[in-house]
Amino acid sequence: MAILLHSGDLPREVRAELERRAAARGIRLRQYLVETLAEHTRLPAIGGWLAEVARLPRQAPLVSGVEALEQAREEEGAGGPFPSSEPTSL
């Protein structure tokens, strides 16, 4: 089934932006639209992507950088390889 979409069917600002993007790539609007729609269909639909993510195994939470530094300080002592960021008096 063929679908005809006329540029007049698009809001003026949408058409202008599409034309600008096509011109930036050095191609005609029709070619830009065909390529953009083809690229769009290669991406997963958001519902399918969310379902796929939900099926992934859960991972243990990662330790933040701050927590890692605090743990290293505790393990090495106050003067360890990661000294405290507290200002020192001279």
Residue 58 has φ and ψ, to the nearest 5°, of: -70, 145
Residue 38 confidence (pLDDT):
96
* Cα dist from 66 to 42, 60, 79, 81, 82, whole Å: 39, 17, 17, 14, 11
Residue 75 confidence (pLDDT):
84
| DSSP SS3 for 40 | helix
Quote the longest CA-to-CA distance of the chain.
81
Task: With a cut of 70, list the residues of the chain below it in pLDDT.
Answer: 78-90
What's the mean per-residue pLDDT of the chain? 85
- Orientation angle between helical segments 12-25 and 29-42, nearest 10 degrees: 90
Residue 38 has φ and ψ, to the nearest 5°, of: -65, -45
pTM: 0.53
